[in-house]
Amino acid sequence: MDVKPFELNELKPKSIGEETLALHLRAAGIHHVREHKFHPARKWRFDFALPESRIAVEVEGGVWSKGRHTRGSGFMADCDKYNTAAAMGWYVFRFPTEQVKSGTAIQVIEDAHKRIGSNRLSPPMP
């Protein structure tokens, strides 16, 4: 029996924000990939990726509780990840859980997907 080793990310429970956004994306009929590994050498992943339009979406939790994304080292690591993604041609959108729950995130994503998807001049990079 061949057992595939698992990554830590496979064990990570999804947040309310991530589950809500996944529901919104499905309801809007937007093709998306969860936990999309975008960098060939780093283990970085996007919470959501819309590969055809190269849109990446991150749901940021803990913004009021001094979570990883708002503390110094976590913020610096996020800057490195997001800047590298942008340099690779990705449009990176970040939303706190509150904006996902309110519907703001899906509105922005739908608008960007329509605008970027119709104006994309080059095919997505691998």
Q: What are the per-10-residue average pLDDT scores of the chain (126 residues)?
A: 46 82 96 94 95 94 59 81 95 96 97 80 48
| Maximal C-alpha separation, the chain | 47
CATH T-level topology, domain 15-119:
Endonuclease; Chain A (3.40.960)
pTM reported for the whole predicted model: 0.77
Annotated domain spans of the chain? 15-119
Q: Give the pLDDT confidence score for residue 7 in this predicted structure.
A: 47
CB 54 within 8 A of CB 112: no
| Non-local CB neighbours of 74 within 8 Å, separated by 6+ positions | 67, 68
